[in-house]
Chain A
């Protein structure tokens, strides 16, 4: 999968949220989909997913959270 015009921007209306911009392309550069002209909010997209999906990724995120808590750093 290839992203084109990809960028992340903070959501000015929701502190802590990020908006994903860009086109989703195939290997030849043909656009298969897009994050939308105004981008897609991570928070907004997240809450639309089912509970099982959210649980799976929260499990993974917990590890990263734990590392940051212990290290006291963030990049």
Chain B
């Protein structure tokens, strides 16, 4: 078995088809279907991957397989470097879609069996997409068959078996639209396995045209077809079966002879049944078609699969699970307890995963996320497609490699989704609602600083071709908390470059700068009415400087020490000029001419607080003045002041004391 590659945009029919991209010599992809499917192309049992592009050809298959031979579209361009992802079109139209350049059948096969087609988009108008006579074991999976008219062709896909031989075809998860007959199948009135499952047929004169064939139609939607199903000739010994189907806007289903077709669990709505007989016990007629044709998308309610049932649709869980598919056309598990009527179940799409199946598995394009280097206990989510995988699933393995270093195994450890991180932890996220998604706990060593990125691969299990994810190791991946921590915990002094925010912070915002800015500021520059500056200027500074204007006294400061004079009341923080007179016991002033007169102020603890020099104002009469300042008046309390008159060491008199009250009035 060989694997070949076909790319209309990058290939050449002179290459050998054995590589998805050209390497050297003749190693590279083929260019045309004619080459790949001709006598000198692939052979029985081979696989052909087809790149995105428009294959505008009519091909007659040139070899006769005896085993499954697969033609697989690669719309995600997983294999084809340099080819943009897009539809893999096998089309009657030119690339621009403006002209039908091929009017004959696109794929022609006579006496060819075992062909399996998937992920392909056939577009026709006049001619058929596929015509295979004397055929058996053909399969179509996840394909679209699209015709731009209802006038032709008679069988967008036309399959017929050889005389006396079963057709045994399998049509799964395909969409048919337009055309006179969408699917024309002809058998030999023998026991068959031919099945049509999870498909949509719409806008045609006939959906499925059945001739002498037993076919099992399950979970299909028929929309706007004149004849949804037409069972022409046939045998009641090998009746066809129709189950779990939805018929909407269809005129009728035609059976030539009652008994050729049995039905149950179908929603016929308005379709007339001709010669079907009594309806199955679980089938219904009338009622709402129950599918959304874009209303919720239009009203921004939800983004839903095309033709999804409405949330309360009678289609949901209408069918039977017996001999029915587990998933709908998109591979989505039925939303209800049992299959719906029709081919598409309810699903809200926020990020539609690819439905492309590669050779039975599902592969994902490599994706990239960012995690800060040195992060620990990190988990990532990867898409493996298949459900039910565990750490012990046979063949499943994980590895990582850091930039330009050898790969390292990640031994997988069974986890449930809610369990704590452990290196290699592996858990399925939600098999029902997020099928195919798994959690992988990365070893801390994978994310250690020192590499640009680390690539993680999980692969090897049956049913999946694995997942690849590259983790970019960048601080761009810091969490909000990490970012905040990095900024606020940085050393301020290390970020003082001129012109930066750091410089501004260092210069203007740090604690010392703020204190300096406040205390060193010129007071006179901050006198705006109503501000604290005005208060300081008006209430704290001005009264002090103007205190010199306040006069008190004269007070008698007698030399007898009896403190006969009245006490003074001084406001806290004030500065006062105090006039005093030194008198004798008779009240006559003592001459202080040429004498040194000082005032000494004591607190209530008899501790000298300050000494002031007195200035004579009328020396002959003993009058003088001194100014008491905030050294004393800053602290409320009771003080005593004595006045010392001295002319020499042998001539000193002490007058007073004078009582002073400093109060916070």
Which residues of chain A in 1-37 are interfacial with respect to chain B, using CB atoms and an 8 Å cutoff? 1-7, 22, 27-29
Tell me which residues across on chain B come within 8 A of A50, comparing CB atoms: none
Selected from B149, B180, B275, the residue in CB contact (under 8 A) with A4 is: B275
Contact with A along B401-436 (1 / 0, CB 8 A): 000000000000000000000000000000000000
Q: A27-B285, A67-B151, A73-B152 are in contact. Are A3 and B273 (CB under 8 A)?
A: yes
Tell me which residues across on chain A come within 8 A of B151, comparing CB atoms: 67-68, 70-71
User: Does B278 sit within 8 A of A, measured CB to CB?
Assistant: yes
A67 to B283, CA, bound (A): 36
Which residues of chain B in 372-396 are interfacial with respect to chain A, using CB atoms and an 8 Å cutoff? none
Q: Interface residue count for B (Cβ, 8 Å)?
A: 19
Selected from A22, A27, A68, A75, the residue in CB contact (under 8 A) with B154 is: A75
- What's the dominant secondary structure at chain B's contact region? loop
A1 to B151, CA, bound (A): 27
Q: A27-B285, A29-B278 are in contact. Are A75 and B180 (CB under 8 A)?
A: yes
Tell me which residues across on chain B come within 8 A of A7, comparing CB atoms: 256
Which residues of chain A in 44-75 are interfacial with respect to chain B, using CB atoms and an 8 Å cutoff? 67-68, 70-71, 73, 75
A75 → B minimal CB distance (Å): 6
A69 to B151, CA, bound (A): 11
Tell me which residues across on chain B come within 8 A of A28, comparing CB atoms: 278-279
A24 → B minimal CB distance (Å): 9
Tell me which residues across on chain A come within 8 A of B180, comparing CB atoms: 75
A46 to B283, CA, bound (A): 33
B569 → A minimal CB distance (Å): 113
Nearest neighbor of B283 in chain A, beta-carbon distance: A27
Are B274 and A3 in contact, CB atoms less than 8 angstroms apart? yes
Are A4 and B258 in contact, CB atoms less than 8 angstroms apart? yes
User: Does B64 sit within 8 A of A, measured CB to CB?
Assistant: no
Nearest neighbor of B279 in chain A, beta-carbon distance: A27
Tell me which residues across on chain A come within 8 A of B277, comparing CB atoms: 2, 4, 29
Are B152 and A3 in contact, CB atoms less than 8 angstroms apart? no
Tell me which residues across on chain A come within 8 A of B152, comparing CB atoms: 71, 73
Nearest neighbor of A68 in chain B, beta-carbon distance: B151
Selected from A2, A5, A67, A75, the residue in CB contact (under 8 A) with B273 is: A2
Are B258 and A2 in contact, CB atoms less than 8 angstroms apart? no
A9 → B minimal CB distance (Å): 13
A67 to B154, CA, bound (A): 13
Q: A67-B151, A73-B152 are in contact. Are A3 and B279 (CB under 8 A)?
A: no
A75 to B184, CA, bound (A): 13
Q: Which of A1, A6, A73 has the most CB of B within 10 A?
A: A6
A32 to B151, CA, bound (A): 35
User: Does B276 sit within 8 A of A, measured CB to CB?
Assistant: yes
A62 → B minimal CB distance (Å): 13
User: Does B272 sit within 8 A of A, measured CB to CB?
Assistant: yes
Which residues of chain B in 269-290 are interfacial with respect to chain A, using CB atoms and an 8 Å cutoff? 272-279, 283-285
Tell me which residues across on chain A come within 8 A of B258, comparing CB atoms: 4-5
Nearest neighbor of A71 in chain B, beta-carbon distance: B151
Are A6 and B278 in contact, CB atoms less than 8 angstroms apart? no
Contact with A along B253-264 (1 / 0, CB 8 A): 000101000000
Are A3 and B272 in contact, CB atoms less than 8 angstroms apart? yes
A27 → B minimal CB distance (Å): 5
Tell me which residues across on chain B come within 8 A of A71, comparing CB atoms: 151-152
Tell me which residues across on chain A come within 8 A of B276, comparing CB atoms: 2
Tell me which residues across on chain A come within 8 A of B154, comparing CB atoms: 75
A43 to B284, CA, bound (A): 33
Q: Which of B150, B151, B283 has the most CB of A within 10 A?
A: B151
A8 to B152, CA, bound (A): 24
Tell me which residues across on chain B come within 8 A of A3, comparing CB atoms: 272-275
Nearest neighbor of A75 in chain B, beta-carbon distance: B154
Q: A67-B151, A73-B152 are in contact. Are A5 and B275 (CB under 8 A)?
A: yes
B149 → A minimal CB distance (Å): 8
A6 to B256, CA, bound (A): 8
Contact with A along B172-194 (1 / 0, CB 8 A): 00000000100000000000000
Contact with A along B119-156 (1 / 0, CB 8 A): 00000000000000000000000000000011110100
Tell me which residues across on chain B come within 8 A of A67, comparing CB atoms: 149-151
Nearest neighbor of A6 in chain B, beta-carbon distance: B274
A3 to B284, CA, bound (A): 16
A68 → B minimal CB distance (Å): 8
Which residues of A are at the interface with B, using a C-beta cutoff of 8 A?
Answer: 1-7, 22, 27-29, 67-68, 70-71, 73, 75
What would 30 A/B residue contacts be, using CB atoms closer than 8 Å?
Answer: A1-B273, A1-B285, A2-B276, A2-B278, A2-B279, A3-B272, A3-B273, A3-B274, A4-B258, A4-B275, A4-B277, A5-B258, A5-B275, A6-B274, A6-B275, A7-B256, A27-B279, A27-B283, A27-B284, A27-B285, A28-B279, A29-B277, A29-B278, A29-B279, A67-B150, A67-B151, A68-B151, A71-B152, A73-B152, A75-B154
Q: Which 7 A-B pairs have the closest CB atoms?
A: A29-B278, A67-B151, A3-B274, A6-B274, A1-B272, A2-B273, A27-B279
